[in-house]
Structure 1
């Protein structure tokens, strides 16, 4: 019997992915599966998934915890990462003397030969991430990092390591190349460690790596926004 119009004039119309037969009503044209086990993922579960994406847990682990299908979760995450903004938002005018620290974090996509570097800039006072770019380790990527900074942060002192790309991009009057022993890049080094501890795709010797560059970039930016949002609450 058709669940829409209660008609008994039905014909078989193929099957769904799990082999169950699909029927079509000849009266109203409605297609359906008898005793379908398909369920709708609640908004509460989606919110839980959104929070779990900010923790060190693989997508397979999230699927097991939330008891959603792997295929649905993959589609949901892919769409969420694709919609994630690729720009840092700075609300209001930062207070005090502005100083930033910059560094690049090694990662890979699909295999370790495909190296991808995460370029980050952090506000020393607020600890918020104020610049980010995902690419290679060339001067071009350093330019992209500098361009991602809000204009107010392009006018302040910037501490980096001695990687030559920084020297050709950051204005000499603002650039300070220092060694780790000075402690002037401690905040950005600690941030790198936080990324590796919290983003499963970046954990060393892990199977939770990205297979597609777009998803990798989206996951990094999703964590950047989540990290800044956590700091805004404190």
Structure 2
């Protein structure tokens, strides 16, 4: 067996293989894992673009690593950096008409189902753009955060349709707030988007092994898809 590159111990054993099939070893003295004659793989722009597209699909990070033929360690670092840079505000097209929005909350969790993270969303009923987002608790403070995330023109002019969740009554302007039931269809677009979000972002699927373990990445992944979704409406 090869000697450990850290402590030079000869007490090493085989310990599986890395993503490209190369033999991995583990030092029984210091615990270091290593391969013989390691080569640093440069991830080219085409592979990064493929990863960017796959992050928008219902595929786990392990699945993306296999499809793109990159290591899970490199992919996790890349995802951490990418999601940290995703803007946490919407960019919407200018509006010269009456405005109507639909608002709803989507249940999710991070690390375990006891750590609930509600995705609050507001959608322009005419353009289908997502115009407001907040991720956090399901209370009055969160409803205010959603309202604050809306562009000023929506806060000043829009008619807002919601379900009967009490927090909306406390936050939205009473003269422009309409609480409605599902049977009316006035919140159908936002409910349909909730389904789209669950279908495209694997960490939001109710029964999944690919749930988020990091709140920052959970928020980043949702914002990443929302920016893509809004841009796709303009194509």
Shorter-normalised TM range: 0.7 to 0.9
| Aligned mate of 1:205, from 204, 207, 213 | 207
* Partner in structure 1 of residue 114 of structure 2: 113
- Give me the whole-angstrom Cα distance separating, in 1, the residues matched to 2:110 and 2:48: 26
**Correspondent of 1:52 among 36, 51, 54:** 54
Q: Secondary structure at 2:234's aligned position in 1?
A: helix
After TM superposition, where is structure 1 displaced by more than 3 Å over at least 4 residues in a row? 13-17
1:96 to partner: Cα distance: 2.8
Aligned to 2:91: 89
Give, in angstroms, the shift of residue 19 of structure 1. 4.2
Q: Which has the larger radius of gyration?
A: 1
How far is 1:14 from its partner? Answer: 4.3
Q: Aligned residue for 2:229?
A: 227
Tell me the alpha carbon deviations over residues 121-170 of structure 1, each in whole angstroms, 9 at most, x when there is no partner.
00001101000000000000000000000011112100000000000000
* Corresponding residue for residue 63 of structure 2: 61
Match of 1:190 in 2: 192
d(CA) in 1 for partners of 2:92 and 2:33? Answer: 46
Verify the 8 A CA contact 2:106 2:120 in the aligned structure 1.
yes
Structure 1 residues not aligned, in runs of 5+: 1-12, 21-34
Q: Using the alignment, how far apart are the partners of 1:75 and 1:149 within structure 2?
A: 31
TM-score (norm 1): 0.85
- Do the aligned partners of 2:92 and 2:129 also contact (CA within 8 Å) in 1? no
Q: Calculate the aligned-residue CA RMSD, in Å.
A: 1.6
* Residue 41 of structure 1: aligned partner: 43
**In the aligned structure 2, how far is the partner of 1:208 from the partner of 1:231?**
28
CA shift, 1:17, in A, is 5.2
- Alpha-carbon separation, structure 2, partners of 1:49 and 1:229: 18
Aligned to 2:25: none
TM-score (norm 2): 0.85
Gaps of 5+ in 2: 8-31
Q: Could you tell me which residue of structure 1 aligns to residue 100 of structure 2? A: 99
